[in-house]
Structure 1
Amino acid sequence: MSRRSVLLAISAAAAHPFSFVSAHAAGDFDDPAEKLVSVTAGRGRTTRFSRDDLAALPQTRFETKAPWIATPAVFEGPSVAQLLRAFAPEAAFERAEIAALDEYAATADVSRLVADDAIFAIRQNGAFMSVADKGPALLIFPFDDRPELKDKPHFGLCIWQISRIRLS
C-alpha cells in the first residue's frame, strides 16, 4: 500500500469511522498471502499469520449453524490448539484475548476454547472468507455437533474479522 493510499485511508477514517476497514478490505485484506492475524504472547514474541499460513496448518472441518447464519455452513481452519502449537510449541497459555478489525474483543480461557473444539475458520463452504464475509478468520464452535455449546457465552466468543490474538 502506498503512502498516498495510507494517507487517504486515514483521512477517510477520520471523516467516517468505519471507512478505513471498508477501504482497506477491498485491497490487501482479501489477499490470502497477506499477514493479517497477529498472535502475541505477553510483551514478547509476535507472529503474523496469513490465511495461507493458517491453511498450511492441520485443518478441522465441521458443518454448523449459528444465530447469524441462515443455513448450516461448512467451516474449516486450524483448531485453537493447532494455532497455539504453531505459534509456541512448548508454551502453555491460560488466557486469550481475541480482537476483530473493528476492535471488538473477547477474552476466554484457552483450556475452554480447546476443550470446546473451537477453530479459527478461514474457509466457509470451501472458499476463503473475505473480510466482507467475516474473514480473514472467524472463531467458531461446532454448535450442531455439541448442542451444549449453544449459549450466550459461546456465541459471544464467535469473533469474526479476527486481526489480533494476545496470549497470557
Structure 2
Amino acid sequence: MTTRRTLNTALLWAGLALSAPALALDAPSSRPVLTVSGKIAVKNAGNTARFDMKMIKALPQHSFTIRTPWFDKPVKFTGPLLADLLAAVKAHGTTLSAVAINDYRIDIPMTDVQRYKVIVAHQLDDKSMAVRDKGPLFVVFPFDTAAELRTSTYYERSIWQLKALEVR
C-alpha cells in the first residue's frame, strides 16, 4: 500500500508540474537576433522564444581561443554555451535544426550539446561580430579540445550567421 501511495503522490506532483505555467522569458527589448522553436517549454512570442543581443549577453558567458579552417590564426570566441541557451527555453528534443541568414541548414544532435562546450559566439577576438564577419551569432565547437572535432562533420555544424534553432 505504501508503494502505491508513493507512486500516486509522485504522479500527482508530476501532473501539477506539467500543468503549471512555464517560467516567463522576457520579450526582446530590441531587434531579435535568434528565434528558438519546436520542443521548448518557455516561450515569449507565440510558439517561439525570441532573443535579442541583450538577452544573449545576459546568459553566462564563456570564451575559448581555437584554430579554425576559416581564419589563418587562432581566434577567440565569446558567448553563452548552447546548452545554457537551450536550458533557458527548457528544450527537450534530440536534434537541433540550425538555420543561417542565407537559409543554410544543418542538424546538430543534442548529444553534441551535452558532450562538448559548444558556444553561440557573439564576439570574435573581443569584438561584436557583424554579418560580414560571420555574425551576429556563430555556433562554434571547441575544435582544439578533441581530435574528433577537427573534422568536416563538426566544421559543418559550426553554423555562422545563425538566425534560428528548431528543437526536434
TM-score range, shorter-chain basis?
0.7 to 0.9
How is 1:43-58 mapped onto 2 (pairs within 5 angstroms)?
45-58=47-60
CA distance in 1, matches of 2:101, 2:54: 19
TM score, norm. by length of structure 1 = 0.75
> 1:38 touches 1:46 (CA, 8 Å); kept in 2?
yes
> Which secondary structure does the structure 1 equivalent of 2:93 belong to?
coil
CA distance in 2, matches of 1:128, 1:114: 26
Partner of 1:134: 134
Which ranges in structure 1 are unaligned for 5 or more consecutive residues?
A: 1-31
Partner of 2:95: 95
Partner of 1:41: 38
Partner of 2:81: 79
**Deviations 1:76-135 (Å, cap 9, x if unpaired)?**
1111110011112xx422110000000001012112233122111111111111111111
> 2:35 touches 2:48 (CA, 8 Å); kept in 1?
yes
How is 1:1-168 mapped onto 2 (pairs within 5 angstroms)?
33-42=30-39, 45-88=47-90, 91-168=91-168
Equivalent position amino acid for 2:146 in 1:
R
CA distance in 1, matches of 2:153, 2:68: 13
**Deviations 1:15-39 (Å, cap 9, x if unpaired)?**
xxxxxxxxxxxxxxxxx94212100
CA distance in 2, matches of 1:114, 1:128: 26
**Deviations 1:144-164 (Å, cap 9, x if unpaired)?**
222331011001101100011
Displacement over 4 Å in runs of 4+: none
> 2:99 touches 2:162 (CA, 8 Å); kept in 1?
yes
TM score, norm. by length of structure 2 = 0.75
Equivalent position amino acid for 1:148 in 2:
E
Equivalent position amino acid for 1:40 in 2:
S
> Which secondary structure does the structure 2 equivalent of 1:154 belong to?
helix
Which ranges in structure 2 are unaligned for 5 or more consecutive residues?
A: 1-28, 41-45
> 1:80 touches 1:114 (CA, 8 Å); kept in 2?
no
* RMSD (Å) for aligned C-alpha atoms: 1.8
> 1:75 touches 1:122 (CA, 8 Å); kept in 2?
yes
Measure how far apart 1:139 and its partner are.
Answer: 0.6
